[in-house]
Structure 1
Amino acid sequence: MVRASATARLLIIGQAPGTKVHATGIPFNDPSGDRLRQWLEMDRDHFYDAGQVAIMPMGFCYPGKGKSGDLPPRPECAPTWHQALLAQMPAIELVLLVGRYAQDQYLDDKRSLTERVQAFADYGPRYFPLPHPSPRNQLWLRRNPWFDAQVLPALRARLALLR
């Protein structure tokens, strides 16, 4: 579920693999990934080119099903593996923190996910917080039209600097 290289300049830190991703071994190989690639305006070839885009989850295995979706990522994965993996990716310039679990791990504040995404510029140039692109977040996207109007254009402009 990890894709990394010493030359990648973009790192996407997501939650944990869902059932389809767990079965295929390909990160974001599901509707969440389709939406994320749409947000990034990135085709599959570019997205899965580990020389350009690194992908690292908060949890490295499917955590199981909960009442309203997948369970949280296992808590030992990120503290055990992230620093060693990051050391192998010296060219990373931008880290997309996809969802609350990644944001809680890397952003040292008490803001909510919505507050963080709205204040994305506060975390630059290294970090860019995003909501999880899951189809389950449809209501969040409808309630926060500023995301499409303001955040996505800024994200795309930041990504253009990496190309």
Structure 2
Amino acid sequence: MHNVRMRGNRFIPLQDPIPCRTMKLPYKKGRMNMELTYTPQGDYLLPNLTLSEAETTIGKYGMMRKTFLKTERKGMYAHLMLSEQLNRHLADIDRTAREQIDWTMQELLRLNPAPDKASDPLAWTGHMNNLKQQAEELILAELIYH
């Protein structure tokens, strides 16, 4: 809390809060000078930080790749994250996986036609789920867990 003084039954601040502060970090060998601005939030000064990457939505296959990298390829995960390329990598993997699954399903459907959906909807659903599972198995081994 800012320094305050009582006058009667009112608190009067001794100084106005500073809306934004700038701090210059000292130069050290191998590092560059950086200027950071801080905004007071209650008793704390929080840095005004922004991401250089745009926020992207990552789907199922991107999240599976992220989990794989975190557990099995920790060095690659750390490199992608520190170079701010992780979200782009995961979005590319997700997009590529979806495209390949769609293409593989079309090819499997061409080779193994589905039963009529109107006359036997349960058989059609089972057949389509089977084709999707086959396509996912191929993609997961080649793209996600590689």
- TM-score normalized with structure 2 length: 0.26
Q: Name the larger-Rg structure.
A: 2
Structure with more helix by fraction = 2
- Considering Cα pairs closer than 8 Å and 6+ residues apart, tell me whether 1 or 2 has the greater RCO: 1
- TM-score normalized with structure 1 length: 0.24
